[in-house]
Structure 1
Amino acid sequence: MNPVFVIGHRNPDTDSICSAICYAHLKRRLTGGEYIACRAGHVNAETKFVLERFGVEPPRYIKSFEPRLSDVQYREVPGISEELSLHRAWDYMNENDIQTLAVVDEDRRLKGLLTLGDIARFYIEDQDANALAEAKTSYRNLVDVLDGTLEVGDIDQRFEQGSVVVAAANPDVLEDYIGKNDMVILGNRYESQLCAIEMSAGCIVIGLGSKVSRTIRKLASENGVSIIATPYDTYTCVKVIGQAVPVRHVMRKKGLITFEPEETVEDVKRTVSKKRIRYYPLMDEQGRYVGMFSQRNLLDLERPSVILVDHNERDQAAEGIRSTNIVEIIDHHRIDSVETSGPIYFRNQPLGCTATIITQMYHEHNVEIEPKIAGLLCSAILSDTLMFRSPTCTPLDRMAAEELAKIVGLDIKQYATEMFRSSSRLLDRSMDELLHMDFKYFQAQNQKIAISQVTSVSENELSGIRDKMLEYMESCLASSGLSMLFAMLTNIIEEKTELLYVGKGAQQLVRAAFKTDCGEHSVVLPGVVSRKKQMVAPLVRAMEHDEAIE
């Protein structure tokens, strides 16, 4: 069974992280399968405090589910040397059942590509008698394809000059055909062998397994003529000798298309869909060849299975969520735009926290909640309900938190105060970090907005970041692609929020949503502490019903 990833929303809060960990734990207990808790963003200070308090490692960070070439099943076929003969390259292709080979140097740097089509084209096209010399074919390759032995000469030398000549005529006629440095293919006729040496041939190939006399070897050595003895007849020699050409003479060197593991599959598909090439080389980050993949490999890619917790909106999900197979959703927010390929288990309850739902599921399946899990679940409930002060908090949330606190031995008021203070020290953080610490997107009437929430138990801290936050919001609005940007500075103890807003029509929208006088960029909203119930709903409702707001 492939692993199932359990993940919360982007810019995760304590509920998102803890719910992912605890639900993955529950699923493992129930099924025995591999369920992996994940996160779609960095762990904030409050969540870090919680995880450290209960000795739990942060979940795996997944930046995007968009499949990349590193997820594709590629073939780890080693590259070949550019000096390898076409004969050996052909055998290698047949042995590995592959139609494209990467030609690499000693450091696995790509030198070229060789396909079956390249080999076929070389043989079908008319090759003149100078082909072996033009390719600077090594004697090592020649001996190999002829299944012969080098009787005279240096195996590491190359045949670089001359044509291939078949000595089928009488010796007295051969003198008119054999040129200097030619390669002469002949049989066991002593006179023909002697003639080739006297005409300063570069190499003579003696077929039919004929024994090479001492005199011929001596004369050849004295005249710098190489001798290859082969068991093949003349016809076979002529047929196979072209296979000694090194692959560098035939391979494609220009316009090579390569890819790296981190490239997305969709980008690669768009590139290769316009090409009539079956296999492509995969290179590592240092530009070294690692294997070969085909277009079919891209189509056969299996989508990862995912369980969403604490969200069901596409804009809040991890990047690339469309490339996954969503199998479950556990959430307490409004139902929005995540689409699935088929029916799934979708549990959505009007509670103050996703962790409350997961606590219920532990009870429904009669799974004991161990102290560590109880601590995470209790922390998530206290965080999301602002220690029961949020209007989203229900009696079920409070009941679950109190039960979980008993399991782990927590004093709720004391622990919640420590937890909230852990995320304070706002003045020590950058505005970018604070804005995106708990940041969510929303859509209505073709307008996209974002609402950030910064909570604290100290009014001085919130007042200290107010002006800098507003200035930062103004600076990043233009490049954000948003119509409006909002930030809730929420005082948990005093149960109030100062709402900051920027963007055309933002002041008018807030006035319509909350029916109150507003400053140019801010308004204080007593009793408002919940983004989900007290902020999102009024703003979205105002956007949908007041067409004058732009």
Structure 2
Amino acid sequence: MTVYVFGHRNPDTDAICAAIAYADYLQRTHLPDAVAACCGAPNRRTEYALRRARLMAPRIIMDVRPEVSDVCRTDPIVAYDDEVFQEVYERMSENKLGALPVLNREGKFLGLLTLLDLMKVIFEGDDDPIQARQVCSSVRKICDVLKGEFQHCDAPDEKAKVMVMVGAMSAEGFTKRLNQFHPSETLVVSGNRPTIQLPALERGVRVLVVTGAYELSPGLLQLAQLNRVTVIKSAFDTATTTMRIKSARRIESAIQTDCLAVSSKLPVADARKLVDRSRQNLFPVLDDKGKLFGVLSKSDLVNPPKPKLVLVDHNELSQAVQGADESEIVEVLDHHRVGGNLKSDHPIRFINEPVGSTCTLVAKQFRGAGLIPTPGIAICMASGIISDTLHLRSPTTTEVDRELLEWLKSFANIDLDDFVREFFEVGSALQSQPAARVVREDCKEFVDRGHRFSISQIEEIGFDLFWERSSELLEALVELTEERSLDFSALLVTDIVSNGSLLLMSHEPDFWEAINYPRLERNLYQLEDVVSRKKQLLPLISQLLENSLNSVGQSEAT
């Protein structure tokens, strides 16, 4: 089963590069089905890094909840609308099926056919003596269900509606009765009775079925050919032959065209709500083009398989791909605080170390296993380290980051110093993205002491573009806060040259007045030497929240 390696939502370079490199590591060690995935498109810097590494971006998957396509049967036994009772009934009986999807010969889905509806084909119109005798079929289908053979055949595959007459009376009575029907729409069943066969052939009936394995005489056969009468020889007796002719009726009148069909892309949880309310036992599954994809029964939804996930660069479900809470988390590789409500039913591999980049931890796994990364994977991991540590200048940088970046240099086939300069020059979010995208590009949500908030971060060369767009960025932050029902949202704009940041807030919560950094204007602060969301800004916010709670507690106590 595929194991998806995911970075966090709104992934940055470290998240995407860690997913790609760790999936490669897992494939080469113990999980050959590991596949890198991401929750959104790479930003321009990540695209540049992947292009230099000659690696494809991970597959974008926005929701890992199992879909109907994951649990339905994709090789269903089907019926076609031009088939007849006998052949469909035998197929259902042989496969012990109570229902079938029905298609036309072009593959278009038409509806559902149940065994109960199919049986009605045989008894159709039994309360009407005329309708009870009618059979809509082709003469070839009639011959097939009789296991008979043609003595003469005319237009065998033409669809026809015929009235069945049994020649079990006197010749005079038969002729009189035959005159009541249109001969070209009449099928006559007769034993070895020339006195019945002759008037039927003279009138030019559509079909003459001769029972008991008898054959027409040469003279009568010549008359049949002259009048274009199809002649079928049946080995059965007259009663059995008449009954089997009814089973040559086409199934089209019994098809349920208003049945409930479900989309192959529908989440299993949503499909379960639909089918639980339905009396159907079988549900056709259609693809986006309305073609039959498979079939689904209620039992298929009882215990759907859980997706298997490896989380990198995050460990909180609030930051994970949609549906992670319904998945099996098999491993976590991260360098952030442990938070959120991540749970598992059994022990998992959980690696969390205080380093500057998740790619550092991935490189450590490669080196520890004695694996030599390909040049592309080495560049990929180096990109994650360079991005998250601002090329080893961030306060989150450790000796482990420096050591492993140096180790990766020996496998990369590029000059990393030139790469670093180009990496930070390319892809200014403020230069190329609308404000709404800027505040969502690298956005993480947190829950701390009862408060839900988000922190976005972008790296720029200087603050000139920020000052030009500060008003629209503030509006975008306010919209993000309302959209996600957060207490507040923040944007950390980091200058990679000066190693300082500006902090823009959607609004200033009550506890914010205690912040010990210069306020440049309402909702905007200057944070010198602050470049890390994880190690500097998030702990600062947590401390402000803690102090606020303590102050409230002391006030209540007095």
TM-score normalised by length of structure 2? 0.86
Counterparts of 1:290 and 1:55 in 2: how far apart (Å)? Answer: 36
Question: Do the aligned partners of 2:65 and 2:307 also contact (CA within 8 Å) in 1?
Answer: no
Return the match for 1:482 from 486, 494, 519: 486
Task: Deviation per CA, 1:19-42: give whole Å up to 9, x if none.
Answer: 122222222232372322222221
Secondary structure of 1:244 counterpart: coil
Change (3 A) 1:222 1:398: closer
Change (3 A) 1:290 1:133: farther
Task: Deviation per CA, 1:28-68: give whole Å up to 9, x if none.
Answer: 23237232222222111222222223333222222221222
Quote the offset at 1:13 in angstroms. Answer: 1.3
Question: Do the aligned partners of 1:180 and 1:201 also contact (CA within 8 Å) in 2?
Answer: no
Question: Do the aligned partners of 1:258 and 1:282 also contact (CA within 8 Å) in 2?
Answer: yes
Return the match for 1:536 from 535, 538, 554: 538
Secondary structure of 2:262 counterpart: coil
Match in the other structure for 2:85: 86
Question: Do the aligned partners of 1:79 and 1:108 also contact (CA within 8 Å) in 2?
Answer: no
Match in the other structure for 1:113: 112
Match in the other structure for 2:280: 277
Q: Counterpart of 1:329 in structure 2: which amino acid? A: V
The equivalences for 1:39-438 within 5 A come to: 39-77=38-76, 79-94=78-93, 98-123=97-122, 127=126, 129-131=129-131, 134=134, 136-151=136-151, 154-157=155-158, 159-160=160-161, 162=163, 164-171=164-171, 174=174, 179-181=180-182, 183-194=187-198, 203-217=207-221, 227-253=231-257, 255-299=258-302, 301-336=304-339, 337-405=341-409, 408=412, 415-424=419-428, 426-438=430-442
The equivalences for 1:461-500 within 5 A come to: 461-500=465-504
Structure 1 stretches lacking a partner, 5+ long: none
Match in the other structure for 2:556: none
Task: Deviation per CA, 1:74-116: give whole Å up to 9, x if none.
Answer: 2334754322111112233345554433332343222332222
Quote the offset at 1:172 in angstroms. Answer: 5.3
Counterparts of 2:24 and 2:212 in 1: how far apart (Å)? Answer: 75
Counterparts of 1:159 and 1:369 in 2: how far apart (Å)? Answer: 71
Counterparts of 2:413 and 2:81 in 1: how far apart (Å)? Answer: 70
Secondary structure of 1:93 counterpart: helix
Change (3 A) 1:143 1:529: same
Q: Counterpart of 1:523 in structure 2: which amino acid? A: Y
| TM-align CA RMSD | 3.2
Secondary structure of 1:64 counterpart: coil
Question: Do the aligned partners of 2:85 and 2:121 also contact (CA within 8 Å) in 1?
Answer: no
Secondary structure of 2:490 counterpart: strand
Q: Counterpart of 2:315 in structure 1: which amino acid? A: N
Counterparts of 1:314 and 1:425 in 2: how far apart (Å)? Answer: 26
Counterparts of 2:407 and 2:498 in 1: how far apart (Å)? Answer: 26
Change (3 A) 1:122 1:406: closer
Secondary structure of 1:56 counterpart: coil
Change (3 A) 1:542 1:146: same
Change (3 A) 1:383 1:88: same
Greater alpha carbon shift after TM alignment, 459-468 vs 334-343: 459-468
Question: Do the aligned partners of 2:518 and 2:527 also contact (CA within 8 Å) in 1?
Answer: no
TM-score normalised by length of structure 1? 0.87
Question: Do the aligned partners of 2:7 and 2:38 also contact (CA within 8 Å) in 1?
Answer: yes
Secondary structure of 2:277 counterpart: coil
Structure 2 stretches lacking a partner, 5+ long: 553-558
Counterparts of 2:159 and 2:416 in 1: how far apart (Å)? Answer: 85
Q: Counterpart of 1:539 in structure 2: which amino acid? A: I
Quote the offset at 1:352 in angstroms. Answer: 2.0
Counterparts of 2:219 and 2:362 in 1: how far apart (Å)? Answer: 94
Question: Do the aligned partners of 1:186 and 1:193 also contact (CA within 8 Å) in 2?
Answer: yes
Counterparts of 2:407 and 2:362 in 1: how far apart (Å)? Answer: 13
Task: Deviation per CA, 1:429-480: give whole Å up to 9, x if none.
Answer: 3223322221111123554321111112323233333233113323444334
Counterparts of 1:409 and 1:125 in 2: how far apart (Å)? Answer: 77
Question: Do the aligned partners of 1:137 and 1:245 also contact (CA within 8 Å) in 2?
Answer: yes
Greater alpha carbon shift after TM alignment, 523-532 vs 425-434: 425-434
Change (3 A) 1:372 1:193: closer
Counterparts of 1:33 and 1:511 in 2: how far apart (Å)? Answer: 52
Greater alpha carbon shift after TM alignment, 226-235 vs 515-524: 515-524
Q: Counterpart of 2:49 in structure 1: which amino acid? A: V
Q: Matched residue pairs, number?
A: 544
Q: Counterpart of 2:181 in structure 1: which amino acid? A: K
Task: Deviation per CA, 1:339-359: give whole Å up to 9, x if none.
Answer: 223211111112222122223
Q: Counterpart of 2:11 in structure 1: which amino acid? A: P
